Amino acid sequence: MIFEIERAALALACREIDRWIVDAGGGMSEPVDATPDLPSKGTILVVDDESEIGPLAQDILVPDGYTVLSSTDPLEAIRMLDARTWVPDLLLADLVMPVRGGPSWPGDLWNFSPRRRSCSCQAMKSRGSRRQAGRFLTSPSLSPLSLGWSRKCSACGPSHPRSPARAYSLSDRLQGIRVNQAERAVLAVLALFAESSTALAAFVGILGMFRLHVLDARQCDAESEVRFWLKRLMKRESFVASFADVQVWLLEEQSGVAGPPHREFLTGALSANHRRDSGTTPGVAATGVDVCRERRVIPRLGRHTIRCRAAGDRRRRRPARGAPASPLSACAGATGTPVVRAAMPAIMVVAAARWMSPTVFVYRYFLCLAPAIAVIMAWTIRGVRSSRIRLVLVTIVAGLSVLGMGVGVERMEDWRMALHAAADATNGKPVPVLVGATFIESARLRWPLDPEEAGYLVAPVAFYRVPGPAIPLPYDLGDEGAGYLRQSR
């Protein structure tokens, strides 16, 4: 009991002292405003015992509009969180610290945040063995923070190579997302016009397929990483990810394109944190850089495949079978069975073609629905993670689009030029013209034999200069057609 009282008094005293220290500005670096005129996009607290990390984060993130606080002492960070009334939007904390550290350290830091419910915590493992650090720095999934980090650390020693970030650099992702947004709008507009043009429908299909193949490779990876990270967060499991998660988080805020479904995911993750905070264990997402451990964890994540982030390693991890379904599994792109969903339109087309005459189906319905089918195929193929399967499907759909365009051009009936040519061939002499319009009504001989209704069957030539009298022909030469010819004879 005495111990408890002493502990409470000591905590109260420490709190007062800390508040005084904070008010005096000692021990902590002051927040650096991004731009005095513009409001900050968010506050990021960086806790790392390496003194260069905090200023480095400020150099990188402040120009982007973030307010960055940094501390090299974990206890100071705890006191600052406990005393301050503001809440950082993101915590970046080193996992290995001289006083505090370890897997539970981010949770402790989180607990001391007075308004932690609206705060996200990311822990990073910037130290450790030199081999691990080198592996992290050579990771292709480098964030702007880690890119700058890499540049900074490369001056520390020759063992830290320059970033090979080509496939997953920030610019690629940002460009991919922005282009994706713009192209969605373009495709939506084109789809409206494509309803009246087979050629334009084919163009829309080709454009959609091109977009899928070229751009969605990056976009899909970025979205899957966001979902991967948030899924782990919502499952309340300590997980190991990479700095790319932080990058995506920051990217969403920087680019201003965090619309649905990203915003929904983020909101859901924060809501999950709220529920978690009611218990004893805070919901903390710990981010590490150990690629080997990451590989061990990832196969247990369910229906996810993720590109291993080690430099030069392009192998994909196949997910474990029997993984529990997630609420996020309905989201296209990262989960589900996209190949099956991509095959569904083709299955429906084949079924419809078998239900009726294939020729009638193709020319009466399929070509008319080409824009809608192209959009459906684009949406479904988009969820296919394998680039090879995506390429095959894109090639098939693009081929069908070109074929449809060719068929559409071939279906033109140029009666005017045909009659011009006929008149030229007869040199103006009045010769009879047998007209085979292939109207479906001509299949019944009642029409060509009826003088009044026969006029309908020669309607295509009614408004052009015909060398002589126009005589309708039956649809084909079946039994009735032969009888018609005998009768006309």
The binding site for other proteins (CB under 8 A) comprises: 357, 359-360, 363-364, 410-415, 417-419, 421-422, 425-426, 429-438, 440, 460-461, 467-468, 471, 473, 475-477, 485, 488-489
In angstroms, how far is CA 258 from the centroid of its own chain?
A: 12
Kindly tell me which of 112 and 361 has the beta carbon lying closer to other proteins: 361
Q: Does residue 123 contact residue 93 with C-beta atoms inside 8 Å? A: yes
Query: CB under 8 Å to 22, separation ≥6 — which residues?
Result: 28, 79, 80, 83, 84
CB of 454 to other proteins, least distance (A): 15
Distant-in-sequence, close-in-space partners of 244: CB < 8 Å, separation ≥ 6: 139, 141, 142, 143, 168, 225, 309
CB of 352 to other proteins, least distance (A): 15
- Nearer residue to other proteins within complex by CB, 129 or 359: 359
Taking the C-alpha atoms of residue 285 and residue 120, their distance in angstroms, rounded to an integer, is 8
Q: Which is nearer to other proteins, 372 or 443 (CB)?
A: 443
State the DSSP code for 91. Answer: E
Q: What are phi and psi of 470, to 5 degrees?
A: -90, 125
Closer residue to other proteins, CB minimum distance, 318 or 486: 486
264 vs 476, which CB is nearer to other proteins? 476
CB of 440 to other proteins, least distance (A): 8
Residue closer to other proteins (CB basis): 3 or 355 = 355
> Least distance to other proteins from the beta carbon of 362, Å?
8
CA trace torsion 116, 224, 327, 107 (10° rounding): -20
Residues paired with 285 in a beta bridge: 122
Query: What residues pair up with 44 in beta bridges, in sequence order?
Result: 68, 90
Supply the minimum distance, in Å, between the C-beta of residue 424 and other proteins: 8
Nearest distance in Å: CB 483, other proteins: 13
Least Å distance between CB 415 and other proteins? Answer: 6
* Residue pair 38/26 in contact by the 8 Å Cβ criterion: no
Q: Is 69 helix (H, G, I), strand (E, B) or coil?
A: strand
The smaller minimum CB distance to other proteins, of residues 17 and 356, is found at 356
361 secondary structure, DSSP code: I
Q: How far apart are CA 267 and CA 285, in angstroms?
A: 15
Taking the complex as a whole, how short is the minimal distance between the CB of residue 385 and other proteins, in angstroms?
Answer: 38
Buried b (16+ CB within 10 A) or exposed e, 423-457: beeeeeeeeebebebebeebeebebbeeeeebebb
Longest dimension (CA), the chain: 125
- Closest distance to other proteins from the beta carbon of 412 (Å): 4
| CB nearer to other proteins: pick between 244 and 437 | 437
The residue among 396 and 443 lying less far from other proteins, judged by its C-beta, is 443
